[in-house]
Amino acid sequence: MKQTGLALGNWVGPVDICGMIHLDANATTPLLPEVLEAMLPWLRDGFANPSGAYAGAKRARKAIDEARGQVAEWIGAEPEEVIFTGGGTESVNTALHSLNRLTGSGAAVVSSIEHSAVLRYTETLDREMRLAPVGRDGRLDVAKFSGLLEGAAFVSIMTANNETGVIQPVREARDLAHAKGLPFHTDAIQAAGKIPLHVQELGADLLSISAHKFHGPKGIGALYVRKGLRFSPLLLGGGQEGGRRSGTENTAAIVGMGAAAAAMRRNFSDRSGEKLAAMRDAFEAKVLAEVSGVTANGSRENRLPNTSHLSFEGCEAAGLLILLDEAGIACSAGSACMTGKQKPSHVQLAMGISEKLAKSSLRISFSVLNTMEEAIAAASAVKRAVEKLRRIQGFGVGPVVVYSP
């Protein structure tokens, strides 16, 4: 959808999002215009290897250092605590690799709703993997989590879930882990840019973020490593990033991540969160009021302001996505990573949602570049798509169910 001037805060437009109403911000977000502007010179002529000894290389090194400062300032870290990585997955894998290498024997404790970047990597480790359960509201069951820490070696609990948007009790989990002397990583990839993020407040030893989730470029992420924490790199080679992540730096992407972080720091306030929530809530309220047989999943109080996760009785999500795509609405079934696979999402199953309903779920996620008009138009499109699919499938509609723990 062509946007002529953006409605939120100080964000600058216009932005054209592929001719669609893009409501899949948890999958990825468009570049902010100022991020693109910051990157262009580095794509055009700033190709020098930042490790070189000549002027162009030194300029690239300086740009990388500035971007590191921007990311650090945004998350409340020291610049030397920030390592650039090739995206969120690499950041998470690096954190888990380091924890695995440097801790003694014992289990890895992760939540059952982690992103596959955590789950698949942890499964490969030569140690026990303990899955901490969540409740029906999608939040970590802190008591049961606590019971898993005896004989553990390290912990990884995400800050907010990518499918439901449910914010996890990270500080409580960290306190319990630290009380047992266990290092703590948090995958903050979905939280970054949607709620204020401050590493000192969160108190994690390691924290992962990914630029494309907050209007930066893809394929660039960062890992915060608390000063003084022992660290073992995943990628070995030329010794870039102070020996902590080898590989020639992607100057343009790093500059883009820095610019996106600076934009978040400048423009993201509680008001931005309120505006995201206003769009999400208007969308959700209209769908719940006008469509029957809908379940709103996940904690009402503890969720990202931009995410709505809804199950539609009698509607396969795959069918809904096709109809919504035709209507110019881009959103996801459960999580983007699940799209195309027939398996219900592990997150919904962990929450006790039935397999059938899990396959009937949509994730609608807003970014600061969306508008209220888009939220309302999307709700109408969802209503039409659900009605059409149910007509085709001869579905008898049931009552509206709203889960609010």
Ligand X SMILES: Cc1ncc(COP(=O)(O)O)c(C=O)c1O
Amino acid code (one letter) for 74: W
Nearer to ligand X, 6 or 234 (CB): 234
Nearer to ligand X, 365 or 370 (CB): 365
State the residues that interact with ligand X by CB under 6 A.
87-89, 92, 115, 117, 158, 162, 187, 189-190, 210, 212, 221
- Whole-angstrom Cα distance, residue 244 to residue 336? 30
CB burial of residue 336 (10 Å; 0-12, 13-18, 19+): middle
CB burial of residue 225 (10 Å; 0-12, 13-18, 19+): buried
- Whole-angstrom Cα distance, residue 89 to residue 45? 29
In whole angstroms, the minimum distance from the beta carbon of 307 to ligand X comes to 11
Nearer to ligand X, 163 or 313 (CB): 163
Cα 151 to Cα 106, 128, 130, distances in angstroms: 5, 10, 11
Nearer to ligand X, 212 or 346 (CB): 212
- CB-CB neighbours of 260 under 10 Å: 31
Nearer to ligand X, 119 or 372 (CB): 119
| Cβ contact 346:112 at 8 Å | yes
Nearest CA to 3 out of 402, 369, 304 is that of: 369
18, 315, 331, 337: which is the annotated catalytic residue? 337
Residue closest to ligand X (Cβ): 88
Nearer to ligand X, 89 or 367 (CB): 89
Cα 122 to Cα 98, 152, 240, 373, distances in angstroms: 12, 13, 26, 42
Report the residue count for the chain.
Answer: 405
Cα 137 to Cα 16, 248, 291, 351, distances in angstroms: 36, 43, 22, 7
- Catalytic, 337? Answer yes
- Whole-angstrom Cα distance, residue 140 to residue 341? 26
Nearer to ligand X, 120 or 271 (CB): 120
Nearer to ligand X, 186 or 371 (CB): 186
In whole angstroms, the minimum distance from the beta carbon of 204 to ligand X comes to 14
* Beta bridge partner(s), residue 24: 365
* Beta bridge partner(s), residue 110: 131, 156
- Whole-angstrom Cα distance, residue 131 to residue 145? 8
- CB-CB neighbours of 332 under 10 Å: 23
In whole angstroms, the minimum distance from the beta carbon of 86 to ligand X comes to 8
Amino acid code (one letter) for 95: A
- CB-CB neighbours of 160 under 10 Å: 25
> In this structure, what are the phi and psi dihedrals at residue 129, rounded to the nearest 5 degrees?
-115, 120
Q: Catalytic residue positions?
A: 337
